[in-house]
Amino acid sequence: MTRTLQTFIDELESRRRRLHVVNGDGVEPLVDDIVDYFDRFDLETTHVTAPPLPDACLLLTDDDSFLGGVSVTDLHDYLFASLTDEALGDLVSVRGTPVVEAFLTQLDGNVYSLSREEKLPLACISQLLESRAWYRGAGSLHAGVQRLATFEQAPAAWTRYRKIAGSGVATTVYGRPDWEPADWGTVAAYGDESGERIGEYWFVVYSGPEERDDGALLARETDEGRYTGFWTFESDTVTDLVETLVTDYQPSLTRLDE
């Protein structure tokens, strides 16, 4: 195999960004939530008072480069709004916030480490990519859920993937083959019998009809209940991930839907 999923994580391990809380007086509880949330991503966080700048905003930098900014309240609403498995149309409207999504895009490639109890960031990005695929109705979506029994435990998630596949997106799921539905429908499925190839990885990779649609989340369960990985909206990385899954992984896995 020419490239592993772990290689992608290793290559980005050294990249770090800084989060600046600007004029945060009056919104301290919201700032505390957000700072705690991003602290799990090993971001260096600073507090700045700068009257010329807007109140209650966050700035993201990389060394001396400005990467993006967002309102504290807008980002807090996005990150901590209730996540449900209801209609995908509702998901699109809740998650379709261009300014916030642009800010999250600037965290492209930042490696994080999260415990099982801190998986909300992964759920946010996963659902963002799923909703983008549903909205576009084209392209390809690859999702690794570690164990396919995940869909049995969360039937709404399986319904969501069936709907995405039915919308015209080439949808493929991966995991240990410890569950199968009565009908795979148009979803392609690959099983890792030993769990040694993809059983440790949670990933959602969407390659859309246009480059601006592309995005990916990749996380490895390094210890029980603890994940390390990254998300990216960089098309080249998404293309490489899809190629790795299709060329380097699929031939060594068991096709389940045929």
- Residue 32 parent element (H or E): helix 28-39
pLDDT at 121: 67
What domains sit in the chain, N to C, each tagged with a CATH number? 1-16+107-258 (3.30.870.10), 18-87 (3.40.30)
C-alpha span between 56 and 72 (Å, rounded): 5
**Contact in structure between 216 and 205 (CB atoms under 8 Å):** yes
Task: Indicate if the pLDDT at residue 88 is higher than 80.
Answer: no
User: How does the average pLDDT of the chain come out, rounded?
Assistant: 84
Condensed to tens digits (0 to 9), the pLDDT of residues 106-132 reads 766 565 666 555 566 677 788 889 999
